Structure 1
Amino acid sequence: MIDVRRLRVLRAVADHGTVTAAADAMHLTPSAVSQQVRALGRDLGVELLVPQGRGIRLTSEGQVLLEHADAMEERWERALTDLAAHAEGRTGVLRIVAYPTAVSALAAPVAARLRARAPRLSVEIGEVDGTPAYEALLAGRADIAVAVPPPDGPPADDRRFDQRPLLREPLDLFVPAGHPLQGRAQVRLDEAAGEEWIASKDECHQAWIVQSACSAAGFTPHYAHRVSDWTGVLALVGSGLGVTLGPRMLSLPEDGGVVRVRLEGASAPYRSVFTVVRRGAAERPAVSQGRRLLEEVAADLGV
C-alpha cells in the first residue's frame, strides 16, 4: 500500500530541489522527509533520489512515480470532494415512494428541484400505496415515503419509523357537470347523501376514506360502482353515473365533464399526509433535504 502523504513529500522534494527546502515547505524536519522518501522507495523496491551537486534529483523511476502521483493526488482530492458532497446530501441516491396523486403533485416537483440544486444526487421515484410503502422503507427500497396512514398500517408510536405530518389535504366532492350542487358557495357533505357513489378499489384506500367521511357526516353512501383507479372513477363521474370524494391534489380531466365542489362545515373531510422514514435516517443529509423540499412543495400547493 502506498501512503499518499509520502507521495506529497516526494513531490515537495522534486519541486524544491533539496531535502531541507522540502522540509521547510512541509513544516517537517529534514530527517523526517528523508525517512518518508526512503520508506516509499522500500515499499516500491526502487531508488527514488540520487545526489546532484549540493542538491538531489529524482531517478527515472522517481519521475515515473511522480507522474502517477499527480494523477493519484487528483483522484484522491476528487474522492474527498465526493465524500464531502455525499455527507452534505449532494451525491448518492435518494429513493422516494408515494401514492399516485402524491407522485405527480409532490414527488415529481421535489425531484425536479433536487436535480437543479444537487445535480449529482440521483433521485428515484416509485409509486407505492398503503402498507407496502412502509414495507419498502424497511426493506431498504425507499428512503422517504409520502403516505396517508392506512387502517392496517403501523401505529404512530411504531419505533421502526419516523413519521412527520406533511399536510392536511381537503377532500372535495366530484360531481358531473351541471349537477345541482355545482356553483354553490357552501356545500355540506351530507347534501350528497342521496347520490349514487363511485369508489376506487385501490387508490390510497379511497373507499375507506369515503366511508369514514360519510359516516362522520351522518350517512352511509350507496355505492353504485367500484373501479380500480382514478381514471375509471372520473370517467364514471363525467358520464353522470354518480359522485365521489377525491383529494384536492387530484387533477381533473380537461374536458370539463367533472366538477370539483369544495365542502364546508364541521364534517368537511380531509386526509392527513405524512412523510415517513426509517428511524434514525432523518438526519442523513439527502433524506433531510428531500423531506425539507417535500415540505416546501406542499406549502406551495396551498391546499
Structure 2
Amino acid sequence: MFDLRRLRVLRAVHHHGTVTGAAEALHLTPSAVSQQIRQLARDLGVTLLEPEGRRVRLTSGAHVLLDHADALSTRWEQAVADLAHHADGETGPLRMAGYPTGVATLLAPAAARLRGSHPGMRVAVFEAEAGECFDMLLADSADLAVVVPDPTVASPEDSRFEQRVLLEEPHDLLVPAGHPLAERERVPLAETAREDWITPGGSCSHYRVIQVACAAAGFTPRIAHWATDWIGATALVGYGMGIALVPRLLPIATEHPVVRVALDGRSVPMRSILACVRSGSAQHPTVVRGLESLAEVAAKASVAGPAAAAAPEKAVAPDPVALRPDGDRRARPVPAAEG
C-alpha cells in the first residue's frame, strides 16, 4: 500500500520540473519533498527520480505511475464526496481561492450567501493568481478556485481538474471624462486606433487581450504608458494620459473622472471566468454548495454588472460608474451620506 499524498507530491514534481518548485507549491521543504518521493519509491519498489544536471528527471516507472495518478486521485475524491453525504455537510469547511477581481466580484458575495444560507459552514477565501490557485487545489489547501484560463498553467483538457465556465465577461473602454467617446453609449474598437493606450506589461495576459482585440479591429495600439495595477491605470486615464481596456466586472472606484464605455461590433474582447475543482470532487456537498452559490452570483453579475455582483445581499452598493440621475456617467467619490 502507498500513501496518496506521496503520489500528489510526485505529480507536483512532474508539473513544476524541480523538487524546489514542487516544495514551494506544496508549502513543504525540498528535503521533505525528496523524502516523500524516496518513501513512495520504496513502497512501490521502483526508482522514480534521476538527477539531470540541476534538475531531476522522472523515470519511465514514474511516468507509468503518473498515467494512473489522475484516475486514482479522481476515484479518491469521489469516495470522499460520497462519504460526505453521510456526514453533516452543513458544518464542513470550504476553501475558495481566486484572482483579485474574482474575489471582489464573485467569491466575496458567494461566501456571504453561504454564510446566510448555511451559517454552520466554515468558509475561507484566499486571493491568489491562477498558477497559485491550481497549486492550492493540487495541494488540497483549496477546494474550489475561480480563475481566468491560462493554458500555460492548466489546459482545458487537464484531467486533474474539472473546469466549468461561470460567465463570459466582455471588456469596456475606460476614457477620461470630457473625451469625445465619453458621450457615446457604444463605440467600435476601430475608432480608438488614433488614441494613446495604457496597458500592463507584455507578460500579462490582459496585454495579450488588448493586442488580439486591436488586431481584430485592424490596428496596432499606440502604447504611451504602462501600468500593471488597475489603480495606476485608472489614474492615468483620469488625468487624460490615454485610454484603457478594462474587464466589465472590474470595480472602478476612484477620485479621478473616468467613464466606462461599452464596445460595439464583432471585435469586442471577451474572457471566460472559470470555476475549478479537483477532478472527482464536484459532488462533495460543500463543493456543490460553493459552486451553486458562485453560479447564482455570476448570473446576477452578468445581468446587473459589477455593483450588484459585489454588493452584500441586503445592501447594494452604488456603482461608481453607473448613470447618475442627470445622465453623467463619470466615476466619482461616493459622499459619506451615500455610503
Q: Taking structure 2 as the reference length, what is the TM-score of the superposition?
A: 0.61
Q: Distance in 1 between matches of 2:84 and 2:276?
A: 26
Instruction: Indicate conservation of the 8 Å contact 1:166/1:274, yes or no.
Output: yes
Match of 2:99 in 1: 99
Identity of aligned residues (%): 48
Partner of 1:297: 297
Aligned partners of 1:89 and 1:289 also within 8 Å: no
Shift of the 155–176 alpha-carbon distance from structure 1 to 2, 3 Å rule, reads same
Which ranges in structure 2 are unaligned for 5 or more consecutive residues? 1-82, 306-339
- Which residue identity does 1:190 align to in structure 2? A
1:40-97 per-position Cα deviation (integer Å, ceiling 9, x unaligned):
xxxxxxxxxxxxxxxxxxxxxxxxxxxxxxxxxxxxxxxxxxx978845311211111
Distance 2:231 2:250 in 1: 11
* Contact 1:129 1:204 survives alignment (8 Å): no
Opposite residue 281 of structure 2, the aligned amino acid is A
Question: Corresponding residue for 1:121?
Answer: 121
Return the offset for 1:134: 1.4
1:241 to 1:87, Cα distance in 2 relative to 1, 3 A:
farther
- Corresponding residue for residue 263 of structure 2: 263
Contact 1:86–1:92 (Cα < 8 Å) also in 2: no
Question: Are 2:89 and 1:89 equivalent residues in the alignment?
Answer: yes
* 2:185 counterpart of 1:185: yes
Q: How does 1:35-46 map to 2 (within 5 A)?
A: none
Counterpart residue type for residue 289 of structure 1? R
CA distance in 1, matches of 2:206, 2:275: 19
Q: 3-state SS of the aligned residue for 1:164?
A: strand
1:5-20 alignment to 2 at 5 Å? none
1:203–1:281 CA distance, 2 compared to 1 (3 A): farther
Residue 282 of structure 2 corresponds to 282
The alpha-carbon deviation at position 253 of structure 1 amounts to 2.5
Q: Conserved in 2, the CA contact under 8 Å of 1:169 and 1:271? A: yes
Quote the residue 2:169 is aligned against.
169
Alpha-carbon distance change, 241 to 286 in structure 1, aligned in 2, over 3 angstroms = same
Q: Tell me, in whole angstroms, the C-alpha distance in 1 between the residues paired with 2:288 and 2:98.
A: 17
Contact 2:96–2:123, Cα closer than 8 Å, also in 1? yes
Q: In structure 2, how many angstroms separate the alpha carbons of the residues matched to 1:85 and 1:282?
A: 13
Describe the superposition over 1:129-176 as per-residue Cα deviations: whole angstroms up to 9, x where unpaired: 232221221111211111110241321111001000110011001011
CA distance in 1, matches of 2:254, 2:93: 36
Offset at 1:204?
7.0
Change (3 A) 1:152 1:133: same
After superposition, residues 104-253 of structure 1 pair within 5 angstroms as 104-201=104-201, 205-253=205-253
SS at match of 2:240: coil
| Cα distance change of structure 1 residues 198 and 205 upon mapping to structure 2, 3 Å threshold | same
Deviation at residue 216 of structure 1 after TM alignment: 2.1
Gaps of 5+ in 1: 1-82
Q: Is the 8 A contact 2:172 2:248 kept in 1?
A: yes
Hey, what's the Cα distance between the residues in 2 that align with 1:212 and 1:88?
49
Deviation at 1:103, TM superposition (A): 0.8
Q: Are the structure 2 counterparts of residues 216 and 86 from structure 1 closer, same or farther at C-alpha, using a change threshold of 3 Å? A: farther
Instruction: Indicate the structure (1 or 2) with the bigger Cα radius of gyration.
Output: 1
Distance 1:165 1:120, change over 3 A: same
